[in-house]
Structure 1
Amino acid sequence: MQGRVLIIAGSDSGGGAGIQADLKSCMALDAYAGTAITALTAQDTLGVHGVHPVPLDFIRQQIQLYLADIGADAIKTGMLADTPTIAAVCDALAAFGSGQPLVADPVMMAKGGHALLEAGAVDTLRRRLLPLAAVITPNAPEAELLAGRPVRSVEDMPGAAAAILALGVPAVLLKGGHLPGETVVDLLATRDGSERFESPRVESAHTHGTGCTLASAIAAGLAQRMSLRDAVIRGRAYVLAALRTAPGLGRGHGPLNHAVTVDPARIATLA
């Protein structure tokens, strides 16, 4: 096991997204992950049915204790919910962090349509969190809100990515899974240029947690001293494999197969 990741995000009681997906993704890619939970959600594959925020002092305490004891080689943020939570997390990272690369997944809405970020907190996300990030991983709807411009096609992606870079983040991975077409295009843009990554669309209802999974996979790669480009390439390959082998659980948007990298036959030889 190599690389320590601190994940700051909400819990998904259904296990497909949030902290649960983050932990499974890091472990599947041979990284160690600890958590600072920002919110508890009651959800299943049909949607989010309840949200219980975690007290701000307790969020800060989780961050402080993990960084002071185990330490982190990379940090990943997910659901931060509102302005006070974003501020508390940013303050804690400023006080206790040591310059670890931060992968910021700007979680704004659950797969079923439930809002996971207050509308008034988008500006706080722009001002406080983005300048701390090494890379931000918005999907097309999230990129629209952050960039203040439409992202309705692959052609819209470069302009939106440039607008997000102008907010102070050094790199953005703009994900195209929400856009139409048989091919999914993701755009990795930095201040030095951009690169497109393409993969065939997997037609499936079992796509819950793809964003959390990819961001955590990238964080694991950065914690393992991979370049950002290599971490993105490996992370996309992992998500694609997890999508193709999804277990088909639930009556709605089901989870991925986060254990796709695990080889039971090999494990049996170690017993």
Structure 2
Amino acid sequence: MTPTKPPVALSIAGSDPSGGAGIQADLKTFAALGAYGTTVITALTAQSTRGVTGVHAVPVEFVDEQLRTLTEDVRIDAVKIGMLASAELVELVGSWLDRPPLARVPVVLDPVMVATAGSALLEPSAVTALRQILPKASLITPNLAEAAALLGVEPAGSVAEMRDQASALIAGGVNQVLLKGGHLTGFECVDVLADATGAWEIGSERISTTNTHGTGCTLSSAIAALRPQRESWLATVTDAKAWLTEALRGADRLEIGSGSGPVDHAHALRG
């Protein structure tokens, strides 16, 4: 058997027992897009499709041990950062982004603050700490509410306002931002990718479904999985968004829970 060397993606995030978001969604996404998934768990949640009832942060010292033990042995080609839960965890992960091997690879940071069902996932004190580490990421992927919280403004109500807020984040020191417009209305779902050189609108069909649990986790992990396999960030984001659109299209085929169900990470296998 000929050995293979797939890109290795690391997810630093929280666990979702329902499987639609967090570490579980990231591993499904990595596998679907040809990457080998590894994880460092930062928090345990009591969660279902109906919401989050509890969050237990993993001790900072043990998160550090997970990172050290993993990276001393396993090659890392891309990183996705999700739920960090506390200011101490944010600061720890931020310190790891300054040292190899994480300092040498693409880092996609999803500033997870609120779950799709509306439950808070980030302590207020951690928001301030999060702002400090954003410039260490290659790309951040906030939704409208998260971008507004980071900037201290009202959420964007149009694509034009999204472009302005993306530019404001870049001016504040962020390297690149993908501002997600899924909460706007209209036939097309438009995201804005911006860096210091300009901004690009990436549109896709808006899929009519209430089964959107974990879409943010899934998109950011898709970007991390594909970045080592694509020539540019624009190509990476475009392909990741197209894949997520099909996962949303297949979401209603799944009967998982009684709330906001997950997208279909295995849609390509189901046909």
Q: 1:14 aligns with which of 18, 25, 30?
A: 18
Q: CA deviation at 1:108?
A: 0.3
TM-score by length of 2: 0.93
Question: For 1:64, what is the secondary structure of its paired residue?
Answer: helix
Q: Report the residue type matching 2:247 in the other structure.
A: A
TM-score, structure 1 as length reference = 0.93
After TM superposition, what 4+ stretches of structure 1 lie above 3 angstroms from structure 2?
none
Q: Which residue is 2:58 aligned to?
A: 54
Task: For 2:55 and 2:140, locate their aligned partners in 1 and report how far apart those are by CA, in whole Å.
Answer: 24
Counterpart residue type for residue 206 of structure 1: N
Contact 1:249 1:255 (8 Å CA) reproduced: yes
Partner SS, residue 146 of structure 1: helix
Name structure 1 gaps, 5 residues minimum.
265-271
Give the secondary-structure state (helix, strand or coil) at the position aligned to 1:48. strand
Partner residue, 1:269: none
Alignment of 1:144-155 (within 5 A): 144-150=148-154, 151-155=156-160
For 1:59-98, list aligned pairs within 5 A: 59-96=63-100, 97-98=102-103
1:157 is paired with a residue whose SS is helix
Q: Does structure 1 retain, via aligned residues, the 8 Å contact 2:57–2:86? A: no
Measure the CA separation in 2 of the matches of 1:239 and 1:225.
17
Which of 173, 177, 183 matches 1:172?
177
Q: Please list every run of 5 or more consecutive structure 2 residues that lacks an aligned counterpart in the other structure.
A: none
Q: How many positions carry a matched residue from both structures?
A: 263
How many Å separate the matches in 2 of 1:85 and 1:208? 24
Q: Residue 196 of structure 1 corresponds to which residue in structure 2?
A: 201
Task: Please tell me whether the aligned partners of residues 2 and 224 of structure 1 are also in contact (alpha carbons under 8 angstroms).
Answer: no
Q: Which residue of 2 aligns with 1:183?
A: 188
Q: Is the 8 A contact 1:173 1:187 kept in 2?
A: yes
- Greater displacement, 57-66 / 37-46: 57-66
Query: Is residue 38 from structure 1 mapped to residue 42 from structure 2 by the alignment?
Result: yes
The alignment-based identity, stated in percent, is: 48
Q: Determine which of 238, 245, 249 is the counterpart of 1:240.
A: 245
Structure-2 residue corresponding to 1:208: 213
| Backbone CA RMSD of aligned residues | 1.4
CA contact (8 A) 2:204 2:242 kept: no
Q: Among 240, 245, 251, which residue is 2:258 paired with?
A: 251
Structure 1 distance, partners of 2:34, 2:169, is 31
Q: How far 1:94 sits from its partner (Å)? A: 2.5
* Aligned pair partner of 1:100 in 102, 105, 117: 105
Cα distance in 2 for residues equivalent to 1:256 and 1:206? 6
Residue 114 of structure 1 aligns with which residue? Answer: 119
- Residue 240 of structure 1 aligns with an amino acid whose one-letter code is T
1:134 & 1:221 partners in 2: Cα distance? 14
CA contact (8 A) 1:16 1:255 kept: yes
